[in-house]
Amino acid sequence: MRYSGLALALLGSALGSTTTQAQLSPAETRAVAVVDAEHERSIALLQTLVDQNSGTMNLAGVAKVGAMVRGELEPLGFQVRWKPMPQTKRAGHLIAVHPGKPGTKRLLLIGHLDTVFEHDSPFQRFVRKGDSAQGPGAGDDKGGMVVMLSALRAMKAAGLLDGANIEIVLTGDEEDAGDPVEIARADLIAAGKRADVALDFEGLSVVDGRDMGSIARRSSNSWTLTTTGKTGHSSLIFSDSYGDGAINEMARILAAFRKDLPEPNLTFNTGVVAGGATAALDADGVRATATGKGNIIAATAVARGDFRTLSEDQTQRVRAKMTAIVARHAPGTSATISFESGYPAMPPTAGNRVLLDRLNRVNRDMRLPEMAALDPLKRGAGDIAFVAGDVDGLIGLGTASSGDHAPGETVDLGSIRRQAKRAAILMARLSREPAAR
């Protein structure tokens, strides 16, 4: 939607001094006005996106949401393509490019089309309740995509999108990444290598009523542990001939993890465990089966868990510690551990802090409270980490929400306004700066 100069001036006047400040340029003031004027349109778009199921494994549904977003981006001048991903057994990704002025900063905007709520989930529809709304993915991440689109529409209407170099990657499998991940994230990684700044439109973190800035995300790594022992009658347990048995060896290792691994910014967890005369995990590692009796020494045990770190160095250090613990076998037992890398870490770099400072300049100019850096322990893994080694970035430009990933997920509709305004002004300012490389 285009606005005349008079209409924009009237909108800006109606906003009052709380949002339209002298520190904002006239064009930025117009962008702020457009975000407010289009607020109900943004909510209607959010409802449309939410009401289309796009659980990760609903490949057709993910593609349909991608088509909806495409319909919003192309009128803004973006060149949009759909990248199918049959080789990873996922729907695909939406990639959009806004060609801008050569030599200016290239912005990479990141979000995702899929949700954790599959097509057979009972939680399927958008329900508005005043200034909030429930719905599958209403916050994570359909709310984030709506913020992104609202900001871009405001930039377009205010003339701030002209000349902006922007690339958007909306993955279709953020909630359950396709395998192999090297292929599933190849397009995102390539975009990160081209970019000067990465902006992640997942949810805004709010702590004690205060909006927080996010400059770091921790990694997500999985591990699988298998122990074995010599089986026999239970009366022979701990003897020189039969040793400790597989379950006791498993207990020793897990207790040693708890004692020896803790360090700042690390969490580790055992999610499933089984042991007995037989024990096995299913192919997905989410279900376990076991057989045994109380009077039989366990022959095998299996466990699966995860650990999360703030840097690649920490990941390698923790892996080495875990491997060393596993290698100290109890009598008559053996054990092996294997690791699977999921999402890498995004450490809190100096460049990321500079970007948060830039966002806080926007907050000051809009007379919004400054945003302190969020404790990375309060933020899960996410797609921006795949580009963190190549480009500075900010996280959490999407909506504020609660109860994510569970029935009743609720989005704060008012957060669309302030987040879209922040994003529009930040992107406009960054896009006018010379490229760093």
In this structure, are 256 and 364 located in the same domain? no
In this structure, are 318 and 176 located in the same domain? no
In this structure, are 333 and 360 located in the same domain? no
286 within domain boundaries: yes
338 within domain boundaries: yes
pLDDT at 437: 66
In this structure, are 233 and 137 located in the same domain? no
437 within domain boundaries: no
In this structure, are 256 and 282 located in the same domain? yes
In this structure, are 213 and 224 located in the same domain? no
- Residue 270: which CATH number? 3.30.70.360
- Enter the pTM of the model: 0.88
pLDDT at 21: 45
436 within domain boundaries: no
> Of the residues 300, 319, 343, which one is the last residue of a structural domain?
343
In this structure, are 322 and 405 located in the same domain? no
Q: Mean pLDDT, 10 residues at a time, over the chain (437 residues)?
A: 40 41 86 98 98 97 98 98 98 97 96 96 95 97 98 98 97 94 97 98 96 96 97 97 98 98 97 98 92 97 97 97 98 97 94 98 96 93 95 97 95 98 98 89
pLDDT at 436: 80
In this structure, are 106 and 178 located in the same domain? yes
- Residue 193: which CATH number? 3.40.630.10
**Number of domains the chain is built from:** 2
> Of the residues 310, 343, 376, which one is the last residue of a structural domain?
343
> Of the residues 318, 343, 368, which one is the last residue of a structural domain?
343
In this structure, are 248 and 206 located in the same domain? no
Task: Establish how many alpha carbons lie within 13 A of residue 386's alpha carbon, considering only the half-sphere containing its beta carbon.
Answer: 25
165 within domain boundaries: yes
24 within domain boundaries: yes
In this structure, are 259 and 326 located in the same domain? yes
In this structure, are 167 and 251 located in the same domain? no
Domain that holds residue 374: 5-217+346-431
pLDDT at 380: 84
In this structure, are 280 and 151 located in the same domain? no
